[in-house]
Structure 1
């Protein structure tokens, strides 16, 4: 069964689900502020999911390349998987310009395995966790406006200052500090700091006022004018801190009403025997955890991509928090359930 696609209108929360492979939809979606990836785990969980995790990097590669193509320096990524599944995909993410920030652990608790473990045959501690790994874009810029060579932002910051002919210590005068500017923003190692917008504008103004006139403009993206405050702000991803929340998420796995089945299953006659594909999604994520992720790294009105929709929990979380959700789902039954869910649950229910 295939539901009719829902078009975005000005009168409804912004969401759209593509019935097919996300690779077919990326070009038509607006630029993402964050991407919520909950695709293959390498456990044979659905048609097309590899039986083992060794080749997950290649499974994800075309998607990661597309994410990188359409991302900005401010785009972030939440990557859900098993520990070993993520380990196999991580090198592909890094190679495509994604910068590892931290790993979140979803601990489902002992109830996840209660009554389901044969203590006489199992040869490991029961696994009750998944990982959700957070990435930002590696900040790379063209070494010059007309160059195809990309360098890390910290190299670009220092190179432009050197090109202006100013001594490094002058950055401290530009920023009104004793030594912090040179030490923080021109460092080429792990102690480097991303200059806040107000600091960056001071460096830009000073370099263009006191630097060699023949080399101006300095810190320019187009060779015509210096970088603006709005442009610089867009280079850094959003982070909205929530006090008391750590990277260990204690949350029981979904049961009962919270596991979405849809009216097509709930109202079915007793003789109807739905398949796992039409009845429920075996790996449905808790709505509150996904909402937490989205609120942490986006603002209202921002765009959330959910390439592997399933029941489109991330899209629902986006809508409930006044963000725009764009998802894709290949399976017709899941697609129909997701459409119904978005039409009926555009508010927090649990």
Structure 2
């Protein structure tokens, strides 16, 4: 099948000369757990289910692939239509994992904040000295760089223009209740007054059970004139299930920190023909880690800049449902072959 001419919006012009694409698009594998599309992800976002995880590994501003920007200054323009689409399609349970260089991430951070993404943490992939082994570093004007970063972002929920933190305290005050009474309501010693209603760095949201008790208490003992309290629609109090949808999923894994000491890819792990097929292929184990941390089986994982579809493969292997796209026909074919091989062996 001859390669169609995909849109170049957002990714640069793909290499299409004399190339015959082996696989049709979209391609669904492993019972629909791995779904890949050939073309620009901007054309597919509205067709994909709402993501629980978005893994972004696009432009770095280093001319690393055909369509990358020549420097980080142009990254905002490159990513803007994608960030707009992610913001439109994501839910409050969505986590965005943004791979880039340190400077690339710093350049994109204001754009993400502008569109309502809240920074959670910065993770550093330390590839170690093996990453520069054999390379001539004598002409460098800085110490050799052996790291990439993966920034974690979530959506910032707002109710009536307030953050969750502000809304919790305002509703408690609106009910005419003392702050200290929240401990009795939540069934805790002092966590409600010191944590759940705190407005500083000590704040964290009450667990579902504690929140449910606080809502019940406020609507039973609060001022009758202001009822219902803790309501999203002004007609009834928010339910436990609705409360959970206001927060991203996160499942801590013991032993892991935000620094990932992991050698660069080599051997059978790196997809290659005569040489490495992709300059920036990510490790499957680190990709599985971020998916496990922020999703559950059956959840949707997006990989907008698929490359070799490491994210889609990791999602399918973890019983999630992956959706990815790639605009470069050579990468698309290699990624499809990798998926078929990787999922067949399981």
TM-score (ref. length: structure 1):
0.87
Note if contact 2:27-2:37 (Cα within 8 Å) is conserved in structure 1: no
Pairwise CA RMSD: 2.0
For 2:298 and 2:61, the matched residues in 1 are separated by 34
1:243-322 equivalent positions in 2, closer than 5 A: 243-261=254-272, 265=273, 280-322=277-319
1:133 partnered with 2:151 = yes
Alignment equivalent of 2:197, drawn from 166, 177, 186: 186
Q: Closer, same or farther in 2 for the Cα pair 1:8/1:228, shift >3 Å?
A: farther
Note if contact 1:311-1:341 (Cα within 8 Å) is conserved in structure 2: yes
Q: Closer, same or farther in 2 for the Cα pair 1:167/1:309, shift >3 Å?
A: same
Alignment equivalent of 1:336, drawn from 325, 333, 336: 333
Note if contact 1:320-1:347 (Cα within 8 Å) is conserved in structure 2: no
Q: Closer, same or farther in 2 for the Cα pair 1:217/1:7, shift >3 Å?
A: farther
Name the counterpart of 1:269: none
1:104 partnered with 2:126 = no
Partner secondary structure for residue 61 of structure 2: coil
* Structure 1 residues without counterparts, runs of 5 or longer: 144-149, 266-273
1:21 partnered with 2:18 = no
* Structure 2 residues without counterparts, runs of 5 or longer: 1-19
For 2:122 and 2:189, the matched residues in 1 are separated by 36
For 1:118 and 1:178, the matched residues in 2 are separated by 58
1:153 partnered with 2:164 = yes
For 2:159 and 2:24, the matched residues in 1 are separated by 44
Alignment equivalent of 2:236, drawn from 225, 240, 244: 225
Alignment equivalent of 1:142, drawn from 146, 159, 176: 159
Name the counterpart of 2:87: 68
Name the counterpart of 1:268: none
C-alpha displacement at 1:180, in angstroms?
Answer: 2.9
Q: Closer, same or farther in 2 for the Cα pair 1:348/1:57, shift >3 Å?
A: farther
For 1:332 and 1:153, the matched residues in 2 are separated by 44
Alignment equivalent of 1:94, drawn from 89, 100, 113: 113
